[in-house]
Amino acid sequence: MPKDHGIGASSKRREDIRFLTGRGVYTDDMALHAQAAAVFVRSNVAHGRIGKIDTTKASAMPGVLAIFTGEDFKDVGGNPAGWLINSRDGTPMREPKRPVLAHGKVRHVGDAYAAVIAETVAQAKDAAEQLAEDSVIEELPAIVDMKAAVADASNRVHDEIPDNVCFDWGWIEDNRAAVDAAMKAAPHVVTLNLVNNRLIPNAMEPRASIGEYNPGTGDYKLTTTSQNPHLTRLLVAAFVLGIPENKLTVVAPDVGGGFGSKIYHYGEEALVLAAAKKLGRPVRWTAERSESFLTDAHGRDHVTKIELGCTKDGEILAIRTETLANVGAYLSNFSTATPTFLHGTLMSGPYKVPHVYVNVKTVFTNTAPVDAYRGAGRPEATYSLERVIDQMCRELGLDPFEVRRKNLLTPDQFPYQSPVGLLYDTGNYQATLDKAVQMADVAGFEKRAAESKARGKLRGMGLSTWIEACGIAPSNLVGILGSRVGLFDAATVRVNATGNISVMVGAHSHGQGHETVFAQIVAEKLGIPESSVDIVHGDTSKIPFGMGSYGSRSLAVCGTAMTKAVDKIIAKGKKIAAHMLEAAEGDITFEDGKFSVSGTDKAKTFGEIAFSAYVPHNYPLETLEPGLEETAFYDPANFTYPAGAYICEVEVDEGTGKVEVVAFHCADDFGNVMNPMIVEGQVHGGVGQGIGQALLEFTTYDENGQLLTGSYMDYPMPRAEDVPFYNVDYSCQTPCTHNPLGVKGCGEAGAIGSPPAVVNAVIDALHRGGHTHVKHIDMPVSPSRVWSAING
Amino acid sequence: MTKVSMTVNGKAVSGEVEGRTLLSSFLREGLGMTGTHVGCDTSQCGACVVHVDGKPVKSCTVFASDVAGATVKTIEGMANADGSLSVLQQSFQDHHGLQCGFCTPGMVMSAAALLAENPRPTEHEVRHYLEGNICRCTGYHNIVKSVMAASGQDVSALAAE
Amino acid sequence: MHNFDFAKPSTIADAANALAGEGAQALSGGQTLIPTMKQRLAAPGVLVSLTGIAEMQGVCTGDGGLHIGAATSHAVVAKDAHPHYRALAELAGGIGDPAVRSRGTIGGSIANNDPAACYPSAVLASGATVVTNKRRIGSDDYFQGLFTTALEEGEFITSVVFPIPQKAAYVKFNQPASRFALTGVFVAKFANGVRVAVTGAGNDGVFRWKEAEAALSANFSASAISGLTVDPAGMNTDLHGSAAYRANLVKVLTGRAVTAAG
Ligand SMILES: Cc1cc2nc3c(=O)[nH]c(=O)nc-3n(C[C@H](O)[C@H](O)[C@H](O)COP(=O)(O)OP(=O)(O)OC[C@H]3O[C@@H](n4cnc5c(N)ncnc54)[C@H](O)[C@@H]3O)c2cc1C
Ligand code: FES
Ligand code: FES
């Protein structure tokens, strides 16, 4: 019988009620008294020198309240990169300033160089159009292609950076010679050149921000579409505008999806605050979707050469990669960590590989900044590995299932120190592979392939076995790796006098359902109904601290902080109970919401204890403070390591090249599962995005740096018709050993494991159909690409 | 500015609009009914779908003036009279058919229109009908399931297809 | 979007008067015009809505075939044309999505003549007549290249008359983002021959594939065109497919349309 409440139950989401009745409150839904509208003037050239911006006409237009240009912000700070990465030669990365509004040069189409504040959006747009006409931007040649950017030192995105390279990173540099030697000695070497296609995150709620300022107190408030309000507060306050943190509240209300793109601080947030201060009125900006396309941080965009050295029977001996990673025009907050420590450290996958070396050069181009997008670095690593392993099988005539089995780490090898710096705590990769094979009825594939053939379609099957490092944390570890912030988390559990509970958490839910799941955990631990627990998130004035939600960290890191705070509540409750029951503290046990004296029937309910903490008539006031509220900060000992095996089946229409995913099976190990319904939903969403990357989505800038896929007319988003029902299993569980919940995180798995499974399936289908000349097709494996590959 | 009147969720409403005022803006800004969302500027995402005279319509792609006198239904009008969730809304909650909730109002309105036309749609029919509603969170699995379940079909086996 | 005055006449005559004015433009379903205005690519001074004109609504049979009022929505055509001209109804039912079909109209689609739109292929393959407030225009004269038609200033479509073929089918291959036709082929078999019209592929908009028409008029089966080739020179190349790819689609989809027509 599945549980119907508490840990492990598929409790229904309480947040759904407001979303299903139109009562959610997203940033753009708030209408504040006397609110003014901000509209940005954005560059329509990719690269240009800003000349005179004549504000005379625009300022005089109806409703216009203020105009800002880069000049107004030239003396405040830039929006910083969160991670310092050193190049192979030990020199630090190049870190150009990222201003609130472009100053001197514009560096990508959509780069804002001015902003108009007016009474209404329409008036601000009219004036912005005028201002664009009255601005002189001298167009410079655009730097779009990464290889050309590196080769041509005369053309620079940032004048002070000659070769447009941010850094040239080697991981692990000291192992390089040994890897080269192992590769040289390998009986067989497989090489693939891969493009990991640039994606545009497309959270369905466009970014929006409202700035407020109270001249009477000097307090600022920023309401914004953020995955991590505290980080945004830190960046805006300490780095950009120089506001004391105690004078700035950041609120992230209901947020309509993030997928990475709303982790980062963007200039629009600083602008609305500055404008609110100048005008003494709230100022709101809401992105139009076309602005989102141009300015949300994009994802992926790697060009990789991967080599794999192996024995003739498929034992992997060495892996070496060389990657160009696009960072776009400026360094977004996590952009330097994504292609390095979230990518290079995963390059041995779930396999025992003795020698691995990763080289990544990050390149500035006149395109939108690129940063972490669902999976962030790990999908790129997984794709490279799983594609090259498939190619190895093909070249050597080996079975892809057998080859993976041969190379996977075995359960007795944990904890496992990988050659690229990670310490895997637990796992059982055979179990998930076996499970996937069973779910997919691999044995019945030939029969299904024959049926497809009878319908004129080529059927193929693709496998990927993958691992990720999640629960992005250990501050000491990320500190060594270059992070400039800590990655712990925090929670406060406040028991109210009447026994109900408010929990303030540093994680932020923008679809993940924390309000439900976190409440399940607290309710279970305290033996009270879930409905007695409320989760408060997304407001720096209410929450102790937090580093937000991304990297599948909410439960593993913040959930643990919350659990520790609950433990403190129980510990204090025991003290109170001991006093009330006139027993020794050591004799008090807590179970099913009751504090009892062991071996007796003397007990106090949780509610009674809470009441006495707030009405301390009979209370150990000499030794114990009244009240029942505890805060815990938690910094884990390690990353968590979810892993799994995915199997995809596709049908290919040879006439049109169209690929249809006809079955998708996921066997995941997420450690312990708190709410199965939500875990499944997370996997579905991730796989949907992974299929999108594999088959549909791409981002094209032309040679002048114009974004050609800047709307849903040209950027193919996966729709309901493009994906199948997914078959999801999470029964293989090796609980994480270093957090008390034993959880690993599930938010990114689907997006990490699925793209190579899809592409491997397509290549398999084509080979089965006799198109054996097709070695590889870059993502998205679109109809025209498949057709061209077949007929090429 | 001209005055338009219409019936929204059973109530007569009116307001001053410009020629260019879209139905979505009239609802959100004019009437303060922010359940209807705007997710794009090219009429593709479907977050803004409402019913106009019983038909699904992208409220971002129709002028308020052009539907003067019409009967409009939005997500705010979908619950039962006593405020409880309708069968379709309840099915979305039961089957986890939403995550961030941003696409949800449009999804529910489109799905309601489908069920009005076709009370027992197949999986393919549901997917096809929702072609104009983009969801970035759910991978659509649980949305399709929610809609099929709301039509009274047994969806317990679907997950393990 | 720039502001404008809004008018909603209820007769063709009133609409003609309103549209004769300076800066006036017709608004039908708005499913193309409104997004265009949002991008500030169109800025009419007066918008004249045609959807309030009863005589421009609906589907009925009459002289010359099936008459469809220009302001009839795709959804209504999908339903009401079905008993008379199934391929046309199915085409209408495959345009965009249900919400687009609730509003978008045949007149707006044909007036706009988007090179990736569906209706133009049906009009051309059926040899339909475009009826305006001023005259009747044969389909071969009506379409004049990308977004260009025979319509003159102040002229607007009031209905379209479709001869009903013996057999017909439309096969559309979606552009993966917009879901318009990357290529769509409409095949219509009449007693006096077969017409094949292709949308989405040609670099000058909708066109007739005359070689296929000849071959299919002689033998209405998919195999009849297997020896033909489509010259990529006349095809469009964009992000979603090269000219060669589209040339292939024209042939593949024509074959499939013939099979579907039965
Ligand atoms: C998301 C989406 C998906 C779509 N998918 C498809 C698709 O798959 N296939 C497809 O074919 N189309 C598609 N369309 C376009 C849709 O069919 C439009 O409805 C159609 O192209 C225009 O018709 P309308 O009635 O909306 O015209 P409007 O947008 O009102 O007008 C379009 C143009 O025609 C003019 N006009 C309108 N009516 C007349 C008239 N009677 N006489 C003269 N001029 C007139 C207007 O002034 C304007 O210039 C899609 C649209 C959207 C938003
Ligand atoms: S907001 Fe209406 S379709 Fe996107
Ligand atoms: S639930 Fe977030 S977009 Fe659909």
Helices (H) and strands (E) in chain A, counts: 19, 28
Chain A residues within 8 A of B133 when measuring between CB atoms: 719-720
Q: What's the CA gap between C184 and B103, in Å, rounded?
A: 30
Q: Is residue B161 part of a domain?
A: no
Residues B72 and B54 in one domain: yes
Report pLDDT digits (tens) over A86-98. 999 999 999 999 9
Q: What is the mean pLDDT of residues B103-118?
A: 98
Using the 3D structure, point to which of B58, B77, B96 is the last residue of a domain. B77
Question: Has residue A166 been placed in a domain?
Answer: no
Chain C residues in contact with A782 by the CB 8 A cut-off are 176, 240
Assess whether A346 and A410 both reside in one domain: yes
Q: Are residues A590 and A647 in the same domain?
A: no
Judge whether B159 lies within some domain: no
SS (H, E, C) chain C: CCCCEEECCCCHHHHHHHHHCCCEEEECCCCCHHHHHHCCCCCCCEEEECCCCHHHCCEEEECCEEEEECCCEHHHHHHHCCCCCHHHHHHHHCCCCHHHHHHCEHHHHHHHCCCCCCHHHHHHHHCCEEEECCCEEEHHHHECCCCCECCCCCCCEEEEEECCCCEEEEEEEECCCCCCEEEEEEEEEECCEEEEEEECCEECECEECHHHHHHHHHCCCHHHHCCCCCCHHHECCECCECHHHHHHHHHHHHHHHHHHHC
CB contact under 8 A, B55 and C49: no
Is residue A332 located within the same domain as residue A416? yes
Q: What is the pLDDT of residue B161?
A: 38
Strand spans (E) along A614-705: 629-634, 643-652, 659-669
Same domain, A463 and A322: yes
A221 and A358 share one domain: no
Q: Is C178 close to A714, i.e. CB distance below 8 A? A: yes
Does A307 lie in the same domain as A285?
Answer: no
Domain assignment of residue B57, yes or no: yes
Residue A480 lies in a domain: no
User: The domain spanning residue A425 has which CATH number?
Assistant: 3.30.365.10
Are A243 and A95 contained in the same domain? yes
Reported as a single tens digit per residue, the pLDDT across B95-104 is 999 999 999 9
pLDDT at B159 over 70: no
| Atom 1 of ligand 2, nearest CA residue | B38
Which pLDDT score, from 0 to 100, does residue A547 have? Answer: 85
Shortest Cα distance from C103 to chain B (angstroms)? 7
A539-554: average pLDDT: 87
Per the CB < 8 A criterion, the answer to whether A460 and A660 are in contact is no
Residue from the list C4, C27, C35 with its beta carbon closest to the beta carbon of B43? C35
Instruction: Find the radius of gyration of the CA atoms of chain A.
Output: 27
Decide if B79 and A688 are in contact by the 8 Å CB cutoff.
Answer: no
Q: Tell me: do B35 and B14 sit in the same domain.
A: yes
pLDDT digits (tens, 9 = 90+) for A169-211: 999 999 999 999 999 999 999 999 999 999 999 999 999 999 9
Contacts of B150 in chain A (CB under 8 A): none
* C85 confidence band (pLDDT: 50, 70, 90): very high
User: What pLDDT was estimated at residue A1?
Assistant: 65
Cα B102 to averaged position of ligand 3 atoms, centre (Å) = 5
Q: Which residues numbered 109-148 in A keep a CB inside 8 Å of some CB on B?
A: 122
Provide CATH code, domain C5-49.
3.30.43.10
| Same domain? B94 vs B72 | no
Is the minimum CB–CB distance between A701 and chain C shorter than 8 Å? Answer: no
Question: Which A residues 717-746 touch C at CB under 8 Å?
Answer: 717, 719
**Which of B89, B102, B141 has its CB closest to that of A204?**
B102
Asked if residue B157 belongs to a domain, the reply is: no
Is B91 found in the same domain as B61? no
* Tally of domains in chain A: 3
Question: Could you tell me the CA-to-CA distances from A641 to A378, A422, A735, A743, C162 in Å, in that order?
Answer: 12, 10, 10, 10, 64
How far apart, in Å, do the first and last CA atoms of chain C sit?
Answer: 48
Q: Tell whether B127 lies on the interface with C, counting CB pairs under 8 A.
A: no
Q: Do A22 and B74 touch (CB under 8 A)?
A: yes
Alpha helices in A8-68 (DSSP H): 15-20, 56-59
Compute the distance between CA of residue B93 and CA of residue B102 in angstroms, rounded to an integer.
Answer: 14
Question: Which of B45, B77, B109 finishes a domain?
Answer: B77
Cβ contact A716–C40 (<8 Å): no
8 Å CB contact of C176 and A787:
no
The per-residue pLDDT for range A712-770, each reduced to its tens digit, is 999 999 999 999 999 999 999 999 999 999 999 899 999 999 999 999 999 999 999 99
Q: Judged by CB atoms within 8 Å, which residues 482-541 of A form the interface with B?
A: 510-513
Lowest mean pLDDT among A295-299, A471-475, A586-590, C172-176: A471-475
pLDDT beyond 50 at A20: yes
Chain C residues lying within 8 Å of B41, measured CB to CB: 35, 38-39
Interface of C with A (CB under 8 A): 1, 3, 40, 173, 176-179, 239-242, 244-245, 248-249, 252-253, 256
User: Mean of the pLDDT values across residues A700-717?
Assistant: 98
CA–CA distance, A534 with A514 (Å, rounded to integer): 10
Residues B52 and B108 in one domain: no
pLDDT at A791 over 60: yes
Residues of A in contact with C178 (CB under 8 A): 712-714
Same domain, A506 and A595: yes
Partners of C157 in the β-ladder: C132
Domain residue ranges in chain C: 5-49, 57-162, 167-261
pLDDT of residue A238: 92
User: Which residues does chain A have within 8 Å of residue B161's beta carbon, measured at their own beta carbons?
Assistant: 663, 724-725, 727
Taking all residues of chain A, what is their mean pLDDT, rounded to a whole number?
96
Residue range A244-268: mean pLDDT, rounded: 96
DSSP, collapsed to helix, strand or coil, labels residue A503 as strand
Q: Are residues B71 and B28 in the same domain?
A: yes
If one counts the domains in chain B, the total is 2
Would you tell me which residues 318-347 of chain A have a C-beta closer than 8 angstroms to some C-beta of chain C?
none
For residues A586 and A716, state if they share a domain: no
- Cα–Cα distances in angstroms (integers) from residue C44 to residues B24, B68, C22, C47, in the given order: 21, 21, 9, 6
Torsion of CA A60, C34, B102, A676, to 10 degrees: -150
Burial class (CB in 10 A: 0-12, 13-18, 19+), A334: buried
Q: Does ligand 1 lie within 6 Å of residue C162's CB atom?
A: no
pLDDT tens profile A217-230: 999 999 999 999 99
- Best to test chain B binding among C32, C50, C74, C100 (most B CBs inside 10 Å): C100
Condensed to tens digits (0 to 9), the pLDDT of residues A383-439 reads: 999 999 999 999 999 999 999 999 999 999 999 999 999 999 999 999 999 999 999
Mean pLDDT of A352-360: 98
Task: Tell whether A519 and A451 lie within a shared domain.
Answer: no
| Most C-contacting residue of B48, B50, B52, B55 (CB-CB within 10 A), to test interface | B55
Asked if B7 and B73 sit in the same domain, the reply is yes
Question: Residue A560 region, left (φ>0) first, then alpha (ψ -120 to 50), else beta?
Answer: alpha
Show the domain range for B20. Answer: 2-77
pLDDT band at C41 (very low <50, low <70, confident <90, very high): confident
Q: Across the interface, which of A655, A696, A708 has its CB nearest the CB of C176?
A: A696
Show the beta-strand stretches assigned E in A103-203.
105-106, 112-118, 135-139, 165-171, 188-196
User: Is pLDDT larger for residue A478 or for residue A526?
Assistant: A526
Same domain, A522 and A573: yes
For chain B, helix (H) and strand (E) counts, in that order, are: 5, 5
Across the range C39-67, mean pLDDT stands at 95
| Nearest atom of ligand 2 to the alpha carbon of B38 | 1
- Domain of residue A291, CATH code: 3.90.1170.50
- Rounded CA separation A471/A741 (Å): 13
In angstroms, what is the span from residue B78 Cα to ligand 3's centroid?
A: 19
Does some domain include residue B158? no
Tell which of A593, A610, A634 closes a domain. Answer: A634
**CATH number of domain containing B14:** 3.10.20.30
CA-wise closest residue to A667 among A493, A338, A371, A430: A430
Instruction: Give the residue from B22, B58, B115 with the most C CB atoms within 10 Å of its CB, the best one to mutate.
Output: B58
* Any ligand 3 atom below 6 A from CB of B65: no
Rounded CA gap, A15 and B137, in Å?
A: 15
pLDDT tens-digit map of A278-332: 999 999 999 999 999 999 999 999 999 999 999 999 999 999 999 999 999 999 9
Would residue A73 count as lying in a domain?
A: yes
CATH number corresponding to C167-261? 3.30.390.50
| pLDDT confidence of residue A319 | 98
Six-digit token pair at A422?
Answer: 């990670």
Decide if B62 touches C, using CB distance below 8 A.
yes
Average pLDDT over residues A33-45: 97
A790 pLDDT more than 50: yes
Q: What percent of chain A has a predicted confidence (pLDDT) above 70?
A: 100
Quick one: average pLDDT of A666-680? 95
Strands C46-49 and C5-7, by their bridges, are parallel
User: Which residue type sits at A428?
Assistant: N
What is the structure's pLDDT at B160? 41
What's the average model confidence in pLDDT over A650-668? Answer: 98
> What does the pLDDT look like over C157-171, one tens digit per residue?
999 999 999 999 999
Domain end, chosen from B20, B48, B77, is at B77
Residues 6+ apart with CB under 8 A from A409: A350, A351, A352, A416, A424, A427, A429
Please tell me if the CB atom of residue B106 comes closer than 6 angstroms to any atom of ligand 2.
no
Distance from CA of B57 to the nearest CA of C (A): 4
From first CA to last CA, the distance across chain A in angstroms is 56
* Same-domain pairing of B60 and B105: no
- Alpha-carbon dihedral B139, B140, B146, B151, rounded to 10 degrees: -160
A2 occurs within a structural domain: no
**What ipTM was estimated for this complex?**
0.97
CB contact under 8 Å between C34 and B46, yes or no, is no
Residue B160 lies in a domain: no
Ligand 3 centroid from CA B32, angstroms: 22
Same domain, A673 and A542: no
Q: C57-162 is classed in which CATH architecture? A: 2-Layer Sandwich (3.30)
Any idea what DSSP says for residue A250? E
Domain that holds residue A122: 27-140+204-257+262-295
What is the C-alpha to C-alpha distance for residues A200 and A298, in angstroms, rounded to an integer? Answer: 5
Domain final position from A295, A315, A346:
A295
